[in-house]
A = this chain, B = another copy of it.
Protein backbone atom coordinates (compact mmCIF):
# COMPACT_ATOMS: atom_id res chain seq x y z
CA UNK A 1 0.00 0.00 0.00
CA UNK A 2 1.45 3.27 -1.13
CA UNK A 3 -0.11 5.20 1.73
CA UNK A 4 2.26 3.63 4.18
CA UNK A 5 5.47 4.25 2.30
CA UNK A 6 7.61 7.02 3.72
CA UNK A 7 7.68 9.11 0.51
CA UNK A 8 3.91 9.22 0.45
CA UNK A 9 3.83 10.94 3.81
CA UNK A 10 6.79 13.14 2.89
CA UNK A 11 4.90 14.42 -0.10
CA UNK A 12 1.66 15.01 1.76
CA UNK A 13 3.45 16.96 4.47
CA UNK A 14 5.40 18.90 1.88
CA UNK A 15 2.13 19.78 0.17
CA UNK A 16 0.63 21.19 3.38
CA UNK A 17 3.71 23.30 3.99
CA UNK A 18 3.98 24.55 0.44
CA UNK A 19 0.29 25.39 0.11
CA UNK A 20 0.19 27.18 3.45
CA UNK A 21 3.27 29.20 2.62
CA UNK A 22 2.63 29.96 -1.01
CA UNK A 23 -1.11 29.67 -1.45
CA UNK A 24 -2.96 27.22 -3.60
CA UNK A 25 -2.25 28.90 -6.92
CA UNK A 26 1.45 29.19 -6.26
CA UNK A 27 1.88 25.58 -5.24
CA UNK A 28 3.31 23.97 -8.34
CA UNK A 29 4.01 20.27 -8.37
CA UNK A 30 7.70 21.02 -8.78
CA UNK A 31 7.65 23.14 -5.63
CA UNK A 32 6.01 20.36 -3.64
CA UNK A 33 8.52 17.87 -5.03
CA UNK A 34 11.42 20.09 -4.05
CA UNK A 35 10.06 20.59 -0.54
CA UNK A 36 9.56 16.82 -0.24
CA UNK A 37 13.09 16.20 -1.46
CA UNK A 38 12.04 14.05 -4.41
CA UNK A 39 12.05 14.47 -8.16
CA UNK A 40 9.00 15.85 -9.94
CA UNK A 41 8.39 12.51 -11.61
CA UNK A 42 8.40 10.68 -8.31
CA UNK A 43 5.22 12.46 -7.30
CA UNK A 44 3.45 10.57 -10.06
CA UNK A 45 4.52 7.22 -8.64
CA UNK A 46 2.45 7.97 -5.56
CA UNK A 47 -0.34 10.18 -6.83
CA UNK A 48 -2.54 10.11 -9.92
CA UNK A 49 -2.23 13.82 -10.55
CA UNK A 50 -2.02 17.12 -8.74
CA UNK A 51 -5.63 16.99 -7.61
CA UNK A 52 -4.96 13.62 -6.05
CA UNK A 53 -2.25 15.16 -3.87
CA UNK A 54 -4.70 17.73 -2.57
CA UNK A 55 -7.42 15.22 -1.85
CA UNK A 56 -4.87 13.04 -0.10
CA UNK A 57 -3.76 15.97 2.01
CA UNK A 58 -7.29 16.47 3.12
CA UNK A 59 -7.97 12.78 3.65
CA UNK A 60 -4.84 12.24 5.69
CA UNK A 61 -5.26 15.29 7.86
CA UNK A 62 -9.00 14.99 8.21
CA UNK A 63 -8.63 11.30 9.04
CA UNK A 64 -6.39 12.15 11.99
CA UNK A 65 -8.65 15.04 12.88
CA UNK A 66 -11.74 12.81 13.06
CA UNK A 67 -9.90 10.07 14.85
CA UNK A 68 -8.73 12.37 17.64
CA UNK A 69 -12.15 13.90 17.81
CA UNK A 70 -13.95 10.57 18.18
CA UNK A 71 -11.67 9.53 20.99
CA UNK A 72 -12.13 12.81 22.80
CA UNK A 73 -15.90 12.74 22.46
CA UNK A 74 -16.23 9.21 23.76
CA UNK A 75 -14.74 10.27 27.08
CA UNK A 76 -17.74 12.45 27.78
CA UNK A 77 -21.21 11.31 28.73
CA UNK A 78 -23.61 14.18 28.09
CA UNK A 79 -24.30 15.75 24.71
CA UNK A 80 -23.45 19.14 26.16
CA UNK A 81 -20.03 17.92 27.22
CA UNK A 82 -19.50 16.17 23.92
CA UNK A 83 -20.37 19.39 22.13
CA UNK A 84 -17.89 21.29 24.24
CA UNK A 85 -15.15 18.79 23.50
CA UNK A 86 -15.96 19.01 19.81
CA UNK A 87 -15.65 22.76 19.73
CA UNK A 88 -12.57 22.87 21.89
CA UNK A 89 -10.77 20.22 19.89
CA UNK A 90 -11.80 21.76 16.59
CA UNK A 91 -10.27 25.05 17.67
CA UNK A 92 -7.36 23.40 19.39
CA UNK A 93 -6.15 21.30 16.48
CA UNK A 94 -6.31 24.15 14.00
CA UNK A 95 -4.76 26.53 16.52
CA UNK A 96 -1.75 24.28 16.90
CA UNK A 97 -1.23 23.61 13.22
CA UNK A 98 -1.45 26.99 11.57
CA UNK A 99 -0.37 25.65 8.22
CA UNK A 100 -3.22 23.20 8.33
CA UNK A 101 -5.61 25.97 9.37
CA UNK A 102 -4.65 28.12 6.40
CA UNK A 103 -4.92 25.21 4.03
CA UNK A 104 -8.34 24.03 5.21
CA UNK A 105 -9.96 27.41 5.77
CA UNK A 106 -8.62 29.25 2.77
CA UNK A 107 -6.51 27.45 0.26
CA UNK A 108 -8.39 24.23 -0.33
CA UNK A 109 -11.55 26.19 -1.02
CA UNK A 110 -9.90 27.59 -4.10
CA UNK A 111 -10.03 24.24 -5.79
CA UNK A 112 -12.47 23.43 -8.54
CA UNK A 113 -15.94 21.99 -8.21
CA UNK A 114 -14.90 18.39 -8.77
CA UNK A 115 -12.17 18.56 -6.17
CA UNK A 116 -14.46 20.26 -3.72
CA UNK A 117 -17.02 17.50 -4.12
CA UNK A 118 -14.41 14.94 -3.18
CA UNK A 119 -13.31 17.04 -0.26
CA UNK A 120 -16.91 17.09 0.89
CA UNK A 121 -16.95 13.32 0.79
CA UNK A 122 -14.21 13.35 3.37
CA UNK A 123 -15.91 16.05 5.34
CA UNK A 124 -19.05 13.95 5.58
CA UNK A 125 -17.46 11.73 8.19
CA UNK A 126 -16.95 14.75 10.34
CA UNK A 127 -20.48 16.02 9.80
CA UNK A 128 -21.79 12.57 10.68
CA UNK A 129 -19.89 12.79 13.94
CA UNK A 130 -21.68 16.03 14.72
CA UNK A 131 -25.00 14.43 13.79
CA UNK A 132 -24.31 11.66 16.29
CA UNK A 133 -23.85 14.17 19.09
CA UNK A 134 -27.10 15.88 18.17
CA UNK A 135 -29.07 12.63 17.99
CA UNK A 136 -27.55 11.52 21.24
CA UNK A 137 -28.64 14.78 22.79
CA UNK A 138 -32.17 14.45 21.46
CA UNK A 139 -32.47 10.87 22.68
CA UNK A 140 -31.32 11.85 26.13
CA UNK A 141 -33.73 14.79 26.08
CA UNK A 142 -30.89 17.22 26.50
CA UNK A 143 -31.64 18.74 23.10
CA UNK A 144 -35.06 19.72 21.78
CA UNK A 145 -36.20 16.76 19.73
CA UNK A 146 -38.31 18.71 17.28
CA UNK A 147 -35.20 20.32 15.78
CA UNK A 148 -34.10 19.30 12.32
CA UNK A 149 -30.78 17.50 12.78
CA UNK A 150 -29.30 18.78 9.56
CA UNK A 151 -30.07 22.36 10.44
CA UNK A 152 -28.59 22.02 13.89
CA UNK A 153 -25.50 20.45 12.42
CA UNK A 154 -25.23 23.29 9.91
CA UNK A 155 -25.46 25.73 12.79
CA UNK A 156 -22.76 23.94 14.74
CA UNK A 157 -20.41 23.39 11.84
CA UNK A 158 -21.16 26.77 10.25
CA UNK A 159 -20.48 28.60 13.47
CA UNK A 160 -17.22 26.79 14.18
CA UNK A 161 -16.09 27.15 10.59
CA UNK A 162 -16.92 30.83 10.38
CA UNK A 163 -15.18 31.42 13.71
CA UNK A 164 -12.00 29.73 12.52
CA UNK A 165 -12.08 31.47 9.16
CA UNK A 166 -12.47 34.87 10.79
CA UNK A 167 -9.54 34.01 13.05
CA UNK A 168 -7.37 32.97 10.10
CA UNK A 169 -8.37 36.02 8.09
CA UNK A 170 -7.38 38.16 11.07
CA UNK A 171 -3.98 36.56 10.84
CA UNK A 172 -4.52 34.49 13.98
CA UNK A 173 -3.95 37.50 16.18
CA UNK A 174 -6.06 36.36 19.10
CA UNK A 175 -6.46 33.12 20.99
CA UNK A 176 -8.94 30.88 19.25
CA UNK A 177 -9.25 28.18 21.89
CA UNK A 178 -10.36 30.59 24.57
CA UNK A 179 -13.45 31.33 22.50
CA UNK A 180 -14.63 27.74 22.89
CA UNK A 181 -16.71 28.24 26.08
CA UNK A 182 -18.66 31.15 24.64
CA UNK A 183 -19.24 29.39 21.33
CA UNK A 184 -20.37 26.36 23.28
CA UNK A 185 -22.81 28.41 25.31
CA UNK A 186 -24.24 29.99 22.16
CA UNK A 187 -24.68 26.72 20.34
CA UNK A 188 -26.05 24.95 23.36
CA UNK A 189 -28.73 27.58 23.81
CA UNK A 190 -29.73 26.92 20.22
CA UNK A 191 -30.11 23.18 20.70
CA UNK A 192 -31.21 22.53 24.19
CA UNK A 193 -34.58 21.59 25.56
CA UNK A 194 -36.17 24.87 26.63
Contacts and interface: CB of A to CB of B under 8 A. Distances in A.
Interface of A: 23-25, 106, 109-113, 116-117, 120, 147-148, 150-152, 154-155, 157-163, 166, 169, 179, 182-183, 185-187, 189-192, 194
The binding surface of chain A is classed by DSSP as helix
A181 to B, nearest CB: 10
B112 A182 contact: no
Contact of A23 (B113, B163, B186): B113
A111 B106 CA distance: 10
A191 B192 CA distance: 13
Given A106-B116, A154-B159, A155-B158, 18 more contacts: A25-B112, A110-B112, A147-B185, A148-B182, A151-B182, A151-B183, A151-B186, A154-B163, A155-B159, A155-B183, A155-B190, A158-B161, A158-B162, A158-B163, A159-B159, A187-B190, A189-B194, A190-B190
A179 B109 CA distance: 25
Nearest to A158: B162
Contacts of A163: 151, 154, 158
A131 to B, nearest CB: 13
A179 B158 contact: no
26 contacts: A23-B113, A24-B112, A25-B112, A106-B116, A109-B109, A110-B110, A110-B112, A117-B169, A120-B169, A147-B182, A147-B185, A147-B186, A148-B182, A150-B166, A151-B179, A151-B183, A154-B159, A155-B155, A155-B158, A155-B186, A155-B190, A157-B162, A158-B162, A186-B191, A187-B190, A190-B190
A157 to B, nearest CB: 6
B151 A23 contact: no
Contacts of A154: 159, 162-163, 166
